[in-house]
Amino acid sequence: MAEIVKRSGSFQASCFYLGEALCGIDINLIQEINKQINYTAVPHAPDYVLGIMNLRGRIVTIIDFGKKLGLGSTKVTDSTRIIIVNSQEEQIGLMVDKITDVITGKWEEVSPPPANIKGIQGRYFLGVCKSKDRKLVALLNVEEALADEGN
Amino acid sequence: MTMLDDETLQMYVEESREHLESIESDLLAIEQMGEDIDEELVNKVFRAAHSMKGGAGFLGLNTIKELAHKIENVLDMIRNRELVPNPEIVNILLLAFDRLAELIDNIQESNEMDISEHVTALMSITSGSLPELEKESVIEVEIKDRQDRVVFTVKEFDLNQAKKGGKFIYLLEFDLIHDIHKKDKQPYEVIKDIQSTGEIVDIKLDLDAVGTLEDGKFSNKIPLYVLYASIIEPDIFNTLLNLPEEQIKLIEIDESKSIVESKEADFGQREDTGETEEVMDIEEEEQGHLIEEEIESRVREQAVESGPKEQVQATRPVASSPKVKPASLAKKVSPSKSTVHTDAQPAASMHAETLRVHVSLLENLMNLAGELVLSRNQLMQAISQGDEHEILNAGQRIDLVTSELQEAIMLTRMQPVGNIFNKFPRVVRDLARDLGKEIELILEGKEVELDKTIIEGLSDPLTHLVRNSADHGIESPEERIAKGKNPTGKIILKAYHAAGQVNIEIKDDGRGIDAEKIVNKAIEKGLITEEQAKGMNEKEKLNLIFLPGLSTAEKISDVSGRGVGMDVVKSNLDKLGGQVDIETAKDKGTTIRIKLPLTLAIIPSLLVSVGEERFAIPQVNVDELIEVPASQVEERIEKVGDADVLILRGELIPLLSLAEILGLKEYKEESSFADKYKSKGGSVKVVIAQAGSFKYGLVVDQLHDSVEIVVKPLGRHFKNCQGYAGATIMGDGKVALILDVVGLARLAELSAINVEDKVEDRDKVEQTGEEYHTLFLFNNAPGEYCAVPLDLVARVELIKASDIEVVGGKKVIQYRGGSLPIFALEEVANVGHLELEGDLVVIVFVMSGHEVGLLANPPVDAMETNVKIDDFALKQPGIAGSTIINDRTTLVVDIFEFFETLNPEWFKERKEAVEEIKKEGERKVLLVEDSDFFRNQVKKFIEAEGYKVVAAEDGQVAWDYLNEHPDEISVVVTDIEMPNMDGFELTKLIKESPNFSHLPVIALTSLAGEEDVEKGRQVGIDDYQIKLDKEKLLQSIYNFLTKKAA
């Protein structure tokens, strides 16, 4: 990954589960994490789009992140959360199964992503690092993951 | 260079744009005036070019500087009356300014852009008009500073030009660090400041003077050299600029020898002339921009008094003290290197768009924001104390403040439409020149304000429409003269407010749009079929112009005719929520009316729901709301082909189920439309949506209120979703989607043409069955149902019984400033008594040019029905017969008979005239009509008028009769739709036959007849009259008969 080369220094990532996969997003990209799951469905939208939500006066697109990454639909449970990220000047909510914790790591220690992590294609990842309890965390490239495939 | 940061550049760009904005119209005005130069105007343009030049020099934008400079030279000559601005010159100037605008738009690349063409053109003007002597003097002179370094190399011509008017030339040396930065000034401000008192001939930033690390010691100054021409005298000059004396140098040019001598002004020594004292006085009053201007103007006055030339002579000795090198060379300036830095351009990209807002508006916003915070505090407090009354109060206050805030913020986005209108004088002028036409453009309502986004989006469509008007609309002067019109065509561009919307009209007095031409073109290009064309009315035909791929320009010109056109205009305007309407009359002109919402951000919308989901439909797209009661669903909703249509006042409206389009409900293929559309109560709720040129009905479950909604865009993941215009947040915090009615129609694969198809299908069905007519239903006495043909009804007014006045034995009501006589049905017919109590309805008719009212009881309704009128059972004076509507026997009022009985004198006049005609011989009218009811009705009243009538059931019968009795008939009155041979065919036969072509043919149409009018004209129908509009038909017959007799 070309991008990994560019990154250096330490980072913090917020970790969460998508199905079985433990993933992380650079904490700087995250605006907030929302517990409320209350959205309006939009007919004819791509299947991974759950709908739109009112977040303090702004319309936020809610995406089933699991489905977007090819893992199948996310089931709504008590632990389901919506991570609001800023992407290309709009806010997008990513529905994930469960939020774990925030890890701190160094970009230098991040290893390049394998071709596939638990069913998620490698191109969505920046790399893999280890969490405190030695679990592997797949660091997601949010822009790549949110790219709409229509075009 | 931190000084030349983005901000400075941005400021320059913005200001230049502002200058450029008005230049066009000014130049055009200058062109108009020709020899009578409005000096003020020329000066204005000159100053614009000038300040652009100044700024460009400062910023190292050499190309801009050069071009601006060349423009300035030409303007200067115009100003000095050395040049008369003819269209050629103005054209070159306009083009040069255009280029200048381009350079400004691409400021980063401007230095690499080519301007040679414009420079040559401009030079040719200046040199061409110069006297020989001056032309020769294009000698370059070097301007040196006090250290004898060459700072500028200038053409002597430029210097001489600058000196005109008794100006002094100075070489100013600003130090960006000490003179500007440390004094907390902005370099650009300083430049502007000095421009207010004189002209900048050249300007240069000496980066070399800064020195490099290698030089050992750093120079602590950044010199900015300005070659400056000003009328201000040397002795007071330095106080004006607030510059140390040693940094100002007066440049003297010895014109006879073309040698430049630089002499130093002795600033310390002031001459005690009265003039300077006066100026001094002002000076003491604190300096300021205004005062500077005042000085300038005073100095000018004096200059005029004494004559510029003399003054130069007089002041020269003062200024020309011997050359003394300034002693203040303590500040070491590193010697100049030969290269000149000009590429001091910041590399960063442009700043985001900016908007100019009036300060008072901002202050208002601040106030409101403060107010809002205050109210919030009150609310919080009230909530914590649980004081319901206070909560309510605070809530109201917040409501008030919020709406004011909303309004104020909207205002910041409002811009006058003049911003785009102003470019059209130029557009039209250029077009008129290219096309060899004479066109006058009139702009009205420039001050009307619209939302910024709309203004921006409006520019292209308007340009297109104006170009169209100039290119296709306005004829050439010869053609116009031949048509008896003023050779100068007129285009009016007008903006005005109406009904909460902004209307923009583009009106020309040209040749008008030929609807047939459009139709032919559309058929030729395969956009529609001939059958479709036949079924279209004038308006629909005109609207074809908006179909993609249709361009009617016969010759492809630079101006238009590239095959993209009105469709783009239309789609652009659709995006803005605008509607276009065309009106045209042959050789009279065309008016294109655009209706635009004031703003796109907040729009009134109708809320509807399907299941649990709510949707908003912009109110502009909503034509009307219809609820079809459960009992009428079967009658009013029909299946035509594979489409469902709603019958609405004789019109067929295709129906779409919102739930179905959006896939919110599952339907089985064969489910009947009743099941499909019916909402809970069993009725069908339909929103009639206006999607551009066609309508359709959107079936929803519930109709809610109309609310103002704030439009929020949808994220990028929805860009492939048609059908939505955005989303909005409702009062309860939930999100609702805003529907895009055009997009929905596209989703359902419904298009205008498609609708035509369906209507056409339906028409076929109709032709074989009974004719449909719309009847206006009302009650006379309670339970007594009556009807009149809707066509005859002019208006319906709701009144109170107390509004009725009895004057002179007649009932009248005050109505539109006059008295309207009203009658009750019982006055003629033997019907129930109508009590003059409570709410009543007055049905207004126009009879023989008089407005009269018929009293009725509500409720009233309009309904389409196949008229089967029994003209026997209940026939009586004023009543034509009866029919069954909604299972009730309904009396059909013969409104003519009714009023004729009441006011026979109204109808007398023509009757007598008819008697006159009859003296010359019997007149026979051939009446062709398939419907028994109408045939009898019409026959009766024509006969009552005194003519003989021969009735025929269809065209074939009539034609046979004509051939058998060739000389009998004087006029033919025919229905259009008939079995065997229709009215068109009959007319065609008549008009093509040598024996009968003289016969006038009057066609009777039922409601839907509008589209036939044009077709009828083609086959030769002389006049159209609405069936049952007895009055007009009789008048028409009379007219034809007398015309023939005459």
B213-227 per-position pLDDT tens digit: 555 555 667 777 777
- Average pLDDT of the segment spanning A49-69: 87
Which one of B664, B722, B727 has the shortest CB-CB distance to A52? Answer: B727
A45 touches chain B (CB under 8 A): yes
Q: How much is the pLDDT for B307?
A: 41
Q: Which residues contact B773 (CB under 8 A, 6 or more apart)?
A: B650, B789, B790, B864, B865, B866, B867, B1006, B1007
Contacts of A148 in chain B (CB under 8 A): 716-717, 719
Q: Is the per-residue pLDDT at B856 higher than 80?
A: yes
Q: How much is the pLDDT for B927?
A: 87
Give the separation between CA B390 and CA B382, rounded to whole angstroms.
Answer: 6
Question: Which CATH superfamily does the domain covering A2-145 fall into?
Answer: CheA-289, Domain 4 (2.40.50.180)
Q: How much is the pLDDT for B350?
A: 43
Rg, C-alpha atoms of chain A? 15
Q: How much is the pLDDT for A62?
A: 92
Q: Is the per-residue pLDDT at A2 higher than 50?
A: no
Q: How much is the pLDDT for B1010?
A: 56
Question: Using one digit for the tens of pLDDT, what is the confidence trace for B644-695?
Answer: 778 877 777 888 888 888 877 665 555 555 566 666 667 888 898 876 667 8
Q: Is the per-residue pLDDT at B291 higher than 70?
A: no
Q: Is the per-residue pLDDT at B853 higher than 80?
A: yes
Find which of B106-110, B127-131, B821-825, B1026-1030 is predicted with most confidence, using mean pLDDT.
B821-825
A84 touches chain B (CB under 8 A): no
CB contact under 8 A, B729 and A59: yes
Q: How much is the pLDDT for B318?
A: 39
CA distance A84 to chain B (A): 13
Q: Is the per-residue pLDDT at B762 higher than 60?
A: no
| Ranges A79-88, B262-271, B450-459, B947-956: which has the least confidence | B262-271
Question: Using one digit for the tens of pLDDT, what is the confidence trace for B977-1022?
Answer: 777 788 888 888 888 888 888 888 888 765 445 566 677 777 788 8
Closest residue, chain A, to B660 (C-alpha): A43
Which one of B713, B734, B737 has the shortest CB-CB distance to A42? Answer: B737
CB contact under 8 A, B735 and A49: no
CB contact under 8 A, B718 and A90: no
Which one of A40, A46, A53 has the shortest CB-CB distance to B717? Answer: A46
CB contact under 8 A, A59 and B712: yes
A117 or B376, higher pLDDT: B376
Closest residue, chain B, to A52 (C-alpha): B735
SS3 annotation, B647-682: EECCEEEEEEEHHHHCCCCCCCCCCCHHHHHCCCCC
- Residue ranges covered by each domain of chain A: 2-145
B431 touches chain A (CB under 8 A): no
Give the separation between CA A63 and CA A146, rounded to whole angstroms.
Answer: 9
Q: How much is the pLDDT for B448?
A: 84
Q: How much is the pLDDT for B750?
A: 59
Find which of B139-153, B226-240, B254-268, B421-435 is predicted with most confidence, using mean pLDDT.
B421-435
Q: In the beta sheet, which residues pair with residue A92? A: A61, A85
Contacts of A150 in chain B (CB under 8 A): 719-720
Q: Is the per-residue pLDDT at B806 higher than 50?
A: yes
Q: Is the per-residue pLDDT at B336 higher than 50?
A: no
Reduce the DSSP state of residue B976 to 3 states and report it: coil
**Mutation choice for B interface testing from A37, A39, A40, A143 by most B CBs within 10 A:** A40
CB contact under 8 A, A45 and B662: no
Closest residue, chain B, to A58 (C-alpha): B712
A9 touches chain B (CB under 8 A): no
**Mutation choice for A interface testing from B612, B712, B717, B722 by most A CBs within 10 A:** B717
Question: Using one digit for the tens of pLDDT, what is the confidence trace for B387-425?
Answer: 888 888 888 888 888 888 888 887 888 888 888 888 888
CB contact under 8 A, B715 and A61: yes
Prediction pTM value: 0.43
Which one of A49, A53, A148 has the shortest CB-CB distance to B735? Answer: A53
Reduce the DSSP state of residue B287 to 3 states and report it: coil
Give the separation between CA A54 and CA A60, rounded to whole angstroms.
Answer: 6
Single out the residue of B636, B661, B635, B658 nearest to residue B646, CA to CA. Answer: B636
Closest residue, chain B, to A150 (C-alpha): B720
Q: How much is the pLDDT for B615?
A: 92
B6-33 and B39-59 are packed helices; what angle lies between their axes, rounded to 10 degrees?
Answer: 150
Q: Is the per-residue pLDDT at B823 higher than 80?
A: yes
Q: Is residue B161 very low, low, confident or very high in pLDDT (cuts 50, 70, 90)?
A: low
Q: What is the ipTM of this complex?
A: 0.86
Q: How much is the pLDDT for B894?
A: 80
Q: How much is the pLDDT for B128?
A: 65
- Average pLDDT of the segment spanning B140-149: 68
B219 or B55, higher pLDDT: B55
CA distance B729 to chain A (A): 7
B664 touches chain A (CB under 8 A): yes
Q: Is the per-residue pLDDT at B262 higher than 60?
A: no
Closest residue, chain B, to A151 (C-alpha): B720
- Average pLDDT of the segment spanning A80-103: 88
Contacts of B747 in chain A (CB under 8 A): 44
**Mutation choice for A interface testing from B405, B700, B716, B732 by most A CBs within 10 A:** B716
Q: Is the per-residue pLDDT at B332 higher than 70?
A: no
Contacts of A49 in chain B (CB under 8 A): 717-718
| Ranges B759-773, B785-799, B804-818, B843-857: which has the least confidence | B759-773
- Average pLDDT of the segment spanning A64-85: 86
Q: How much is the pLDDT for A108?
A: 79
- Determine how many CB atoms are found less than 10 A away from the CB of residue B631: 12
Q: Is residue B42 very low, low, confident or very high in pLDDT (cuts 50, 70, 90)?
A: confident
A150 touches chain B (CB under 8 A): yes
Residues within 8 A of A (CB atoms), B 533-592 only: none
CA distance A104 to chain B (A): 31
How does B422-435 read in b/e, with b if 16+ C-beta sit within 10 Å? bbbbbbbbbbbeeb
B344 touches chain A (CB under 8 A): no
Q: Is residue B745 very low, low, confident or very high in pLDDT (cuts 50, 70, 90)?
A: confident
Q: How much is the pLDDT for B93?
A: 85
Contacts of B615 in chain A (CB under 8 A): none
Q: Is the per-residue pLDDT at B54 higher than 50?
A: yes
Please provide the average confidence, as pLDDT, over all residues in chain B. 73
Reduce the DSSP state of residue B716 to 3 states and report it: helix
User: DSSP alpha helices (H): ranges in B307-423?
Assistant: 308-319, 359-385, 388-413, 418-421
Single out the residue of B709, B714, B710 nearest to residue B724, CA to CA. Answer: B714
CB contact under 8 A, B729 and A57: yes
CB contact under 8 A, A45 and B718: yes
Task: For A25, list phi and psi in degrees, rounded to 5.
Answer: -125, 135
Q: How much is the pLDDT for B349?
A: 40
A36 touches chain B (CB under 8 A): no
B809 touches chain A (CB under 8 A): no
Question: Using one digit for the tens of pLDDT, what is the confidence trace for B691-708?
Answer: 666 788 888 888 888 888
| Ranges B178-182, B458-462, B850-854, B907-911: which has the least confidence | B907-911
Contacts of B663 in chain A (CB under 8 A): 43-44
User: DSSP alpha helices (H): ranges in B6-110?
Assistant: 6-33, 39-59, 62-79, 87-105
Q: Is residue B334 very low, low, confident or very high in pLDDT (cuts 50, 70, 90)?
A: very low
Question: Using one digit for the tens of pLDDT, what is the confidence trace for B729-738?
Answer: 887 878 899 8
Find which of B109-113, B362-366, B800-804 is predicted with most confidence, using mean pLDDT.
B362-366
Cβ atoms of B151 and B144 closer than 8 Å: yes
Find which of A73-87, B36-50, B889-903 is predicted with most confidence, using mean pLDDT.
A73-87
Residue B399: HSE in the Cβ half-sphere, 13 Å Cα cutoff:
7
CB contact under 8 A, B720 and A46: yes
Q: Is the per-residue pLDDT at B624 higher than 70?
A: yes
Single out the residue of A129, A127, A130 nearest to residue A144, CA to CA. Answer: A127
Q: Is the per-residue pLDDT at B844 higher than 80?
A: yes
CB contact under 8 A, A52 and B735: yes
